[in-house]
Every structure is written in structure tokens, then in C-alpha cells.
Chain A
Amino acid sequence: MRFIKSLCIALTLVAMTISTTGCLEDLKSESKDLRTDTSVGGDDSAPAVDFIELSTESETIQLSSELMNNDAVVLYYTMWCPICDSHMSHLRSNVVDHYRNVRYLVVDYVSGSVAQSRNSQVSNGYASFTVLSDSDQSLIEQFNATMGTTVVIDDQNKILMNEDYKNGARLIEVLETLQ
């Protein structure tokens, strides 16, 4: 019995040690601005590299072509989950109609094929969006993106924003600068 007790205490201490030494970043948050990467937007950001992707309606979408006809392109990365749905619902209700000369492209990087992406798009109620099927994950690699990542590229190929959608305020703030 003493062995079980000692083992329990030892396991707890080991687990606490592992957790507290491995995750100090979350236990003690910082407000210091760490941005040095030029892909995250801002004055020093690098130009976006042109890309060509197939949409779920079998259109060929090229970044440079879209930027010729619009003030900016907004990419939103989805995996058809609750958070993605809340982001896209907010985007549809609060952003799209207010900034009409902006091209909104949803990037599906989980469905694996154009057909699967189309199915997910329709079943989740976003048939009216243009969805890019990033089957080879080239777009998620190019912008170092993940679920919820929102990228804004202006007509000069400049990346104005590359971060999580959150409550949409930052996206609206950036789109306002295009007016």
C-alpha cells in the first residue's frame, strides 16, 4: 500500500514537472511584439507569391488575375468545424457586403479533393462562397496558415494581414485602409 501511495505522489510530481517546464509560454504570457517575419503583414511584409488553384466549381483561380480586378484578396482557411463556421458566418454577415471590391476565397485544406470540398461547402451552407480546394496543401504551406488563418493581400501584392480571424475586428480594420 505504501508503494502505491509513493508511486502516486511520484507520478504526480513528474507530471507536474513535465507540464510546467514544457509550457511556460502559456503559464506566463507576454505582450512583447515579436514580429520579425515578413510574411505576417505590415510595412515590411514580403510580396505574396502568385498561385493558381482550382475552385470547387472547377474554375482556375490565379492570385494575380484576381488582384487585377479587385482591391484585395482575402483568404480564409477552413476545416468545416464550429469555429470555422462562426468565422465564416460572421464574415458573410459583417464584412462581405461592406467591402464589395474585395475577392473572398475560402481555402479548404482538409477535404482532399475538389468533389469532397464541394460536398462540405454545400452541406455547411456556403455554396455562394468561392472555395479553393487545397488538396496538396500548397496554399497552407505558402502562407504558413492553419485553421482560422485570414490573409489579406492588396492589389500591390502586399500581405496586409496574416493571422487568426478572431472576432473579425482586425480584418475590418485592414479592409478599411483600402477605402
Chain B
Amino acid sequence: MRIRRTWVNNALSISALLLSSSTAYAASCCGGGNATSLVLPKFGNQMIDVSFDMEDYKGYWNQEGDYTKDPAGSDLNQYRLNLGYAHRVADNWQASVTLPYVWNDNTYPGVVSKENGVGDMSASFWYETFDQVTCVYQVNSLADLRPAIYIGGTLTLPTGKSAYGDDATSSFDITGRGLYRFDANLLIEKTVYPFTVTLQGSYGKYLERDVNQEYGTAVAPYKKNLGDRTFVSASLGYTYFLEELDTLTFTAALADLREGEGEIDGVSDPLTEFEKQSVALTTAYASSDLRWVFKGTFSHALRQDGRGENFPTTDILTLGVSYAFY
């Protein structure tokens, strides 16, 4: 099989692109490390964030939620280099952009495939409902319990290779989903040192698109949409203060991701509906001035029956660094 006829698993790419933004970037209103989206610390004016994901595929849940292993001898992996940049545009407003570059490296008993390309880019804006950092060392009054609440939106642009564009000639070339999506985001975070609790949620809607080709082959034109997407996660962190006031933070998170039924020409398409539950552990080292944060996250999909539906189960190791300007 020639290279262009080998492939990047459609489902694999979908998984990667959905999850990459969840844990790859770490910041908090106080600086330091947590497992949240790309959020500029309260004191920061700009931030760059670079991270590298290594995602290993370990079977999938079928539509009934039963876990099924990948075929013997298969080794499916996706790697992503994520470039992120955040900029404070006003006292309580910030904007950010992220762009992944994706490498697919898949081995089945009968096929070896390696492909790469730009993934789907996303642009976000956030409004901070608070004027001062909310991290405290002691709770002396009710006011000290006030959390940091962020309200935001994210637009995902289909800059990756999808099944519907010119660039992918088979399912193994895919690095993006091919549809625009807008997510409304809510992030609630409270730190009472040494503990930090974070709740994060998003609700996304895709924009319907026209399709007139699949994998470079013309097909009868139709309209496609994907189902609404919901993502929720809860995390608990513990911070150790090191010498010179550097910090080391450990965070455990539980996440649930799902999408509803899509549509083909306005008719329900339940075959794209899915669910995935996962846990993640993050370790973050922050410099005392909170400019530098080095992070490592391991995200593990819960492989038990019923912990997901119609979706791959993957482990993701993320290594990253961010630098805040202020």
C-alpha cells in the first residue's frame, strides 16, 4: 500500500483534537500550575505556552459502552506540538490562540503509517469576574472564600486536514474535524494554600457545513453537522512551597467529555454520538516570580465498561512550559 493510501485513524484524530486543549496548558489566576485551559495569570500581560502531547491508543468503547481492545499487534500513537499565546487586552479581558501540529504514527499487523500536518486552530477570549487575585493563605472572612470565575468563548477553526477537504486522501491523513465550533466556557477556581479546587465546563455547538468530497473523492453533495459537545472536569491540587518560594503543585482531575447526535442533511446521525471519561494527574513546577511554569500531565481514560461510548480509549502524556510576561 503506498503512503498516501495508508492512513490516520479518523477516530484517533478526533480523540486527540478534542482532548488536547483540556489539560495541555496550565496557569491559574495566581500563576503557578493547574490543569486548566490556556489562561493568563491575573498579573500577566502576555504568555507563551509550548507543550508536547504523546497520545497512545488502547482500544475503544463500542456503542453499548463495552470496552474492546485494539487488534493484537497494533500500536497507534499521535503526537502533537501545541503552540499557545495569550494576551491581556483589558484589565479583566484576555485573548489566546493555540495551534497544534500533529504527527500520526500507526502500526497495524498489515500496515505501517506515518502522517503529519497542522491541526485545528482555536482562538479564545475570557472575562475575569474578579479584580484581584483570589488566592489566600487563610480564610478570615467570607470574602476570602470568593473564587476566581472566568467566563469565556472559544472558536475552533478547521485548519487541520479533514475528510472533507483537499488534503486528506484517506482516513489516516486526518488531523482535524473539518467543522467550525464555538464553545462557551466557565472556569471556577479557588486556592486556599496549599489547596486549589477547580471546576471547568464548556458547551460547544458546531456549525453545519457543505460536503461535496470525502478523502479527495467527489460525492453527492450533502450538509453535515456534529452533535453538541459538553466537557466538564473537576480537579484538586496541592502546592508545596520550595526554597526561594518556588512551588511544586500536584493536581488530580476527573473529566467527562461527550457529543450528541450529529445531522446529515438535517436528519439525525446517532453514529457520531460518543462519551469519554478520564482521570489526569498534573505536576507543575513554578518559579518564585511565577513567570516560568514547567508541567507534566498524564491523562488516563477509564477503560471499564460504561466509562465511555463509541470512542477510543487513550493515555496522554503532556510535557509543557509556559512563560508569562508582566
Select the residue from A83, A124, A148 with max chain B CB neighbours within 10 A.
A83
B62 nearest CB neighbor, chain A only: A85
A76 on interface, CB distance cutoff 8 Å? no
Q: Are the CB atoms of A148 and B68 closer together than 8 Å?
A: no
Bound complex: CA of A80 vs CA of B68, how far in Å?
A: 10
Chain B residues 40-87 with CB under 8 Å of chain A are 46, 48, 60-63, 68-74, 83, 85
- Interface size counted on chain A using CB atoms at 8 A: 65
Work out how many contacts link A and B, with CB atoms closer than 8 A. Answer: 206
A65 on interface, CB distance cutoff 8 Å? no
B248 on interface, CB distance cutoff 8 Å? no
- Interface size counted on chain B using CB atoms at 8 A: 78
Q: Are the CB atoms of A116 and B110 closer together than 8 Å?
A: yes
Bound complex: CA of A25 vs CA of B61, how far in Å?
A: 32
Q: Are the CB atoms of A5 and B325 closer together than 8 Å?
A: yes
Contact of A15 with B9 at beta-carbon distance under 8 Å, contacts A8-B48, A85-B63 already known: no
B10 on interface, CB distance cutoff 8 Å? yes
Interface flags, A113-126, vs B, CB<8A=1, else 0:
10010011001110
B68 nearest CB neighbor, chain A only: A124
What is the CB-to-nearest-CB distance from A24 to chain B, in angstroms, rounded to a whole number? 8
Interfacial residues, chain A to chain B (CB-CB below 8 A): 1, 4-5, 8-9, 11-12, 15-16, 18-20, 22-23, 25-27, 29-37, 40, 79-83, 85-87, 89-90, 109-113, 116, 119-120, 123-125, 135, 137, 140-141, 144, 146-148, 162-170
Interfacial residues, chain B to chain A (CB-CB below 8 A): 1, 5, 7, 9-12, 46, 48, 60-63, 68-74, 83, 85, 97, 99, 101, 108-111, 117-118, 121, 157-167, 169-172, 176, 178, 209-215, 217-221, 223-224, 262, 264-265, 267-272, 274, 310-312, 323, 325
